Amino acid sequence: MRGASLRRLFFLLFLLCFTTVKVLPAGLTMSPSRSQFFRGDSVSLSCEEDNISTGWTVRRNTTKGTRTQCGNEWGKLAGLTCTISILFIGDTGVYWCESSEGAASSSIQLTVSGKIRLWS
């Protein structure tokens, strides 16, 4: 009985460690998590990383510019989270996280549709 519970606990701990390790590489997370947005929607983009000191920023490529940084010409940066409170069609593009040393995360395609959402 006790041995079985202990084994289960260790198994859970092992799973937990494994999950944490998988999350470790810096990545961009999007909230809400979808690739299709509507004009007027808002979105939050966060850099997930294991090392705060490396200074990650959110960058994007759109038809309006390449490698532009959140907080300069678009979006509002708070810590590691970049928020675009009102999306426009021109915000359609590729988004990624980049460290001050130039290391880049995998990128996310964000598409803003011109239709206005009629439901919430």
Ligand X SMILES: *[C@@H]1O[C@H](CO)[C@@H](O)[C@H](O)[C@H]1NC(C)=O
Q: In this chain, which of 31, 42, 54, 85 binds ligand X, going by CB under 6 A?
A: 54
CA–CA separation, 58 vs 107, rounded Å? Answer: 10
SS3 63: coil
82, two tokens: 């970049």
Looking at residue 70, the DSSP 8-state letter turns out to be B
Residue 94 binds ligand X, judged by CB under 6 A = yes
Q: In this chain, which of 66, 72, 85, 109 binds ligand X, going by CB under 6 A?
A: 66
Nearer residue to ligand X within complex by CB, 41 or 49? 49
**Which of 10, 93, 12, 90 minimizes the C-alpha distance to 45?**
93
Tokens 């079985």 found at = 4
Nearer residue to ligand X within complex by CB, 54 or 85? 54
Residue 31 binds ligand X, judged by CB under 6 A = no
Q: Where do contacts with ligand X occur on this chain (CB under 6 A)?
A: 50-51, 53-54, 61, 66-67, 94, 96, 107
